[in-house]
Amino acid sequence: MIATVLFYVASVLALIFVLVPHEFAHAFVAYKNGDPTPKINGRLTLNPMKHFDPIGFVMCALVGFGWARPVPVDSRNFKNYKLGLFTTVIAGVTANYILAFVFYPLLRLCEIYLGNDIGSYFLKQFFLLVFSYNLSIAVFNLLPLFPLDGFRVLESLTKPWNKVRQFLGNYGQTILLVLILESFVCRAGSNLLPALAYFDLLGYVMRFATDIIGWPIKALWGLIL
């Protein structure tokens, strides 16, 4: 019981180190590209309350995938439109990957030097969740579905009349919600019907994030720790 409570506390705290830097990075890079909109709207800050979206936060805590409040950006203010749009969009996932890189050695140090008491368990879970959440959110956000960053990348590389872009813009949010719901149902139901775990589509995305995208981080720090 105590371990379960500590796990969820660690999960909530870990999300602060995932969602907040992601949105702040968008705001900071947009501002540096010449757009004052994020600063005007109070988003050029690390204050969690300025960035959290209640539904996205709950989804992230439940299934490991979610979102924060999108940072308002007016790309017409960019000094260089295409470069500004691309760098602003990619800033969030870049911040997440950097944080995964920074927190992984902290996890390894805890695994090496700490024992199995409650405090050690909490720290290990916290660092593990910060590492895995940052990777999964980075990969999740690169899915080319509106309103995720992947769709914005597609916007920066294609013309407005592109049929694929139009389809993903019109139906991306619906597809995204279906994927999140499907993942949640499969995870919740796998205790009663283990075969459901094989149909957890976003679960494959998370494993790809931690096992494949996270492999260079593990390999590099593995040479040191």
Q: Which residues are catalytic?
A: 23
Q: How far apart are the first and last CA of the chain?
A: 32
Q: How far apart are CA 188 and CA 63, in angstroms?
A: 10
- Given its phi and psi angles, is residue 32 left (phi above 0), alpha (psi -120 to 50 degrees) or beta? alpha
Provide the greatest CA pair distance for the chain: 58
* Nearest Cα residue to 125 out of 2, 8, 1: 8
Task: Give residue 118's Cα distance to chain centre.
Answer: 27
Q: For 138, phi and psi rounded to 5 degrees? A: -60, -50
